[in-house]
Amino acid sequence: MQVLDACPLCRTAVKPGDTRCPDCGADLAPYADLKQLARHYLELAREYINRGESAPARLIIERIPQVTSDAGAELAELRVLVAIHEGDLDNAQQGLKDVPAEVREVLEHTINQAREARFMAHELYNLALSAARNGAMHTAAQHLELAVGYDPADPAIWALKLKVDLKCGYYRRCYDTLAKLDRLAARPPEFHGLESLLPPA
């Protein structure tokens, strides 16, 4: 765990375990606690991101500047990771300028991969839309099953997938898609309460 390495008041170097600054005599205990709290928040936010849960990670990241001003580089990296996960690739790209050089290249590669995946998802979405309009619902369902794998953060793809899966009678998939739309806070109003009309999963 990161410890206080300098007095926050006079910037004199301190040793682990020091409770007072050797130069100005400031009580270091409250500052050490804040440093440890900030480290805990950073690690918790990264854990949420690794689990694919960007919403709680974003809330934690917003709190960190209230606790410390020393987490700039790592905080910038976490913000980029959250933006990538949420499909906000333009903000992710802009955030790279504040990210340490040693991780910038990896994150830029991840953003480029996400752009390519988004392009593939949109191509499959368009194919599915054409197939559905021509009455080829099972073909449309196949395209959409692939599309959400490429871009799982696009609610429009999930919404079309729900409509097509309903037409095909893929009710297990409908339950899963409704749950995903709820996580994205993007369930279409016409599908509120749909679970009560579906056969039991």
pLDDT by residue (tens digit) across 146-161?
A: 999 999 989 999 999 9
The predicted-structure confidence for 164-199, as pLDDT tens digits, reads as follows 999 999 999 999 999 999 988 899 999 999 999 999
CATH number corresponding to 116-201: 1.25.40.10
Those residues with Cβ within 8 angstroms of residue 38's Cβ, 6 or more apart along the chain or in another chain: 2, 64, 67, 68, 70, 71
pLDDT at residue 1, as a whole number? 39
Q: With contact defined as beta carbons under 8 Å apart, do 130 and 100 qualify?
A: no
On whether the CB atoms of residues 3 and 39 are closer than 8 A, the answer is: no
pTM for this predicted structure: 0.69
**Amino acid 32: pLDDT:** 65
**CA 28 – CA 197 distance, rounded (Å):** 61
Every domain of the chain and the residues it spans: 1-99, 116-201
What residues in the chain have per-residue pLDDT under 70? Answer: 1-4, 8-9, 31-33
Task: Please report how the helices 137-150 and 101-133 are oriented relative to each other, as an axis angle in degrees rounded to 10.
Answer: 170
Provide the pLDDT for residue 160.
98
User: From CA 94, how far away is CA 103, in angstroms rounded?
Assistant: 15
> With helix as H, strand as E and coil as C, how does 82-120 read?
HHHHCCCHHHHHHHHHHCCHHHHHHHHHHHHHHHHHHHH
Given a contact cutoff of 8 angstroms between Cβ atoms, the answer to whether 96 and 105 are in contact is no
